[in-house]
Each structure stands twice: as C-alpha cells, then as structure tokens.
Amino acid sequence: MNVEYIREYCLKFKACIEGFPFDETTLVMKVAGKMFALINLDENPSVNLKCDPEEALKLREEFESVKPGYHMNKKYWNTIELNGTVPDDRLKSWIKNSYNLVVAKLPKVVREELGFN
C-alpha cells in the first residue's frame, strides 16, 4: 500500500482532516483535533497508528515491519514501514481501528456533534 492510497483511505472517514503541523514530511490525519494516523512521506515511508497495547505487542511480534511508535507513546502506537510486507487488508483494518480508538475516547458531546452514535 502506498502513501497516497493511505491518505485517500483516511479521508473517507467521517470528520477526518489532514495537515502538516510538525514538518513538511509528516502528514497527520485527525478527527476532532485528535491524531489517528501520522504518515511519514520521506524516502522510507511509514505510518504511525494507535493500537490497543496488547495488540500492539502482538503485531510487532508477527510482522517485522511493525515497530514501536516512532516519536510516540510506544505502549499505544505502532510504526508500520510501508515496504509491502504487511497485507493491504490488514493495514486498512489497523487504520480503521486507530480511527475508532480515537473516536471512542472523544467526549460524548463531541461525538454527538459529529454524528457518532
């Protein structure tokens, strides 16, 4: 899966916005101001995704290209190198899971304002 496909996939999620708050090579995807994906656009593309702590450890053991979250809380974030070793359907499910984890932690009033039930 390439960076542009990930970007387009993320933008399909409700209330998702994108930006470059840190630098020109890190595209950040947010929902209600909270990050759910950070896409590294340099010569070694990768994506940081939020994850359940136990699942994060399992994925790191299962896939060589899944590492502890770079510049993130390593308990909750994984960095996935986009070198083709992770099947696209698995990566898509991890992106969706990251988004859902962030949405679930939003205050109820914010979720209601955005139309999440």
pLDDT of residue 76: 95
Please state the pTM of the whole predicted model. 0.93
Residue with tokens 């896939």: 63
CA R_g for the chain: 14
Tens-digit pLDDT profile for residues 68-93: 998 899 999 999 999 878 999 999 99
CA atoms within 13 Å, Cβ hemisphere of 116: 20
5: tokens are 């496909």
Q: Residue 101: how many CB atoms within 10 A of its CB?
A: 16
Domain ranges of the chain: 3-111
The contacts of residue 58 (CB under 8 Å, 6+ apart) are none
Q: Does domain 3-111 have CATH number 3.90.1150.30?
A: yes
Report the share of the chain in percent with pLDDT over 90: 87
